[in-house]
Amino acid sequence: MTTGSIDLALGVLDHQLLDVEGRRCGKVDDLELEGLGEQSPQVVAIVTGPPAWRGRGFVGRMASALARGRTVRVPWSEVSDVASAVHLRSRAAALRLGRGDDRARPFVRRLPRSE
């Protein structure tokens, strides 16, 4: 884990998620915080999936209304490192991430020389 301080808005939000195998599996679309207004607020989870843009301003709210699918919540304990991307400890499938690519793959695989 990166030591020192980190700016959540600039350093985590909207960053790429990479699973343990380096697979790209979504963006940090929102963060779930706990204990706001108390002594020590904490990030408890990453929320990913366009419906999470509800809380992301006017354009985000409009876009989230059009977005299909559900959001996925990844507990912060799954985060192994925050660098240029947010690295996760598990495989995307185990965290139910990257499902769009997984759904599209069989379709593409039907065509010749897709591998």
Partner 1 sequence: MKKVFAIALGILAAIGGFVDIGDIVFNVEAGATFGYQLLWAVVIGVGGIITYAEMCGRVAAASERAVFDVVRERLGVGTGLVALVSGQFVNLMTLAAEIGGIAIALQLLSGLPYRVLLVLGVVALALVLWFMPFGWIERVFGYCGLALLVFAVAAIKLEPDWGSVAHGFVPSTGSGDLAVYGYFVVGLIGAAMIPYEVYFYSSGAVEERWRPKDLGINRANVLVGYSLGGLLSFALMISAGALLLPAGISAELLGTVALVAEVPLGQVGLILALVGMLFAISGAAIDSAFSGAYNVAQFFGWEWGKYRRPAGAPRFAIAWFVMLVLGFLIVVTGVDPILVTELSVIFSVVALPLTYTPILLVANDRAYMGAHTNGRLANVFGVFYLVVVLVIAVAAIPLLLLSNMGQG
The residues in 81-100 that bind partner 1, with binding defined as CB under 8 A, are 84-85, 98, 100
Closest CA to 72 of 95, 92, 94, 42: 95
Instruction: Please name the residue ranges forming H helices in the chain.
Output: 8-11, 57-66, 99-109
Residue 32 near residue 52, CB atoms below 8 Å: no
Q: Which one of residues 46, 47, 53, 74 is an interface residue with partner 1 (CB under 8 A)?
A: 53
Residues in the chain: 115
The answer to whether 73 contacts partner 1 (rule: CB under 8 A) is no
Q: Which one of residues 26, 51, 74, 79 is an interface residue with partner 1 (CB under 8 A)?
A: 26
Stretch that binds partner 1, among 39-47, 68-76, 106-114 (CB under 8 A): 106-114
Q: Which is nearer to partner 1, 3 or 40 (CB)?
A: 3
Integer Cα distance of 79 and 76 in angstroms: 5
The answer to whether 105 contacts partner 1 (rule: CB under 8 A) is yes
